[in-house]
């Protein structure tokens, strides 16, 4: 692990400021399992930033607990319109980042953002920082402050 060096990770570090430290790993952290193994945390502590495509062509960012799947019907009710999973081109065009490195902030086009309430139970969580091997540590309260939005029930039921 080392401090941020790649352009996208440095950009996120600049946005975050000195209160946070973007860390880059030699091995990829693009999946929840890879990130948790590299960091040494629980998979649930990974804050996945998933981009969806709204019916009005807006990007919708759902920051979800690493072990959860997003219930698009619940998110649609929260944002007020139908959403579908975005393709890699839409994700890169609207966020400025490739899938696997999408951070919860610093997007090219400001997304509608929704946070998974299941992240709020942890003392610390980890989010992608612009590349498939860069992450940063924060608290759920930090995530709420950085994004300016509230936590909601967005997870698929396990039944």
- Segment 98-140, tens digit of pLDDT: 999 999 999 999 999 999 999 999 999 999 999 999 999 999 9
Within a domain: 158: no
- φ/ψ of 90, rounded to 5, equals -65, -40
- The confidence score (pLDDT) of residue 81 equals 97
> What SS3 class is residue 51?
strand
- How far apart are the C-alpha atoms of 24 and 135, rounded to whole Å? 7
- The confidence score (pLDDT) of residue 26 equals 85
- The confidence score (pLDDT) of residue 32 equals 93
- The confidence score (pLDDT) of residue 158 equals 74
CATH number, domain containing residue 49: 3.90.960.10
The count of structural domains within the chain is 1
Within a domain: 157: no
Dihedral angle of Cα 76, 77, 78, 83, to the nearest 10 degrees? 10
Tokens of 144: 């709420």
Within a domain: 9: yes
Which stretches of the chain score pLDDT less than 70? Answer: 1-2, 4-5, 159
> What SS3 class is residue 70?
strand
Within a domain: 144: yes
- The confidence score (pLDDT) of residue 29 equals 86
- The confidence score (pLDDT) of residue 135 equals 95
Whole-prediction pTM: 0.94
- How far apart are the C-alpha atoms of 59 and 114, rounded to whole Å? 11
Please tell me what DSSP assigns to residue 119: G
Residue 140, domain extent: 2-152
3-state helix, strand, coil split of the chain in percent (to 5) is 30, 25, 45
- The confidence score (pLDDT) of residue 27 equals 82
Within a domain: 142: yes
- The confidence score (pLDDT) of residue 2 equals 66
């Amino acid at each position: 692990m080392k401090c941020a060096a790649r352009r996208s990770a440095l950009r996120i570090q600049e946005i975050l400021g000195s209160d946070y430290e973007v860390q880059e790993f030699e091995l990829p952290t693009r999946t929840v399992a890879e990130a948790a193994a590299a960091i040494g945390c629980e998979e649930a502590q990974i804050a996945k930033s998933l981009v969806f495509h709204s019916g009005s062509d807006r990007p919708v960012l759902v920051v979800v607990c690493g072990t959860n799947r997003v219930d698009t019907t619940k998110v649609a009710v929260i944002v007020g319109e139908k959403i579908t999973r975005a393709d890699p081109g839409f994700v890169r065009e609207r966020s400025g980042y490739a899938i696997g490195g999408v951070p919860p902030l610093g997007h090219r086009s400001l997304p509608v953002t929704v946070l998974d309430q299941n992240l709020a139970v942890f003392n610390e969580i980890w989010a992608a920082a612009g590349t498939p091997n860069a992450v940063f540590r924060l608290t759920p309260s930090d995530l709420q402050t950085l994004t300016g939005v509230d936590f909601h029930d967005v997870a698929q039921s396990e039944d």
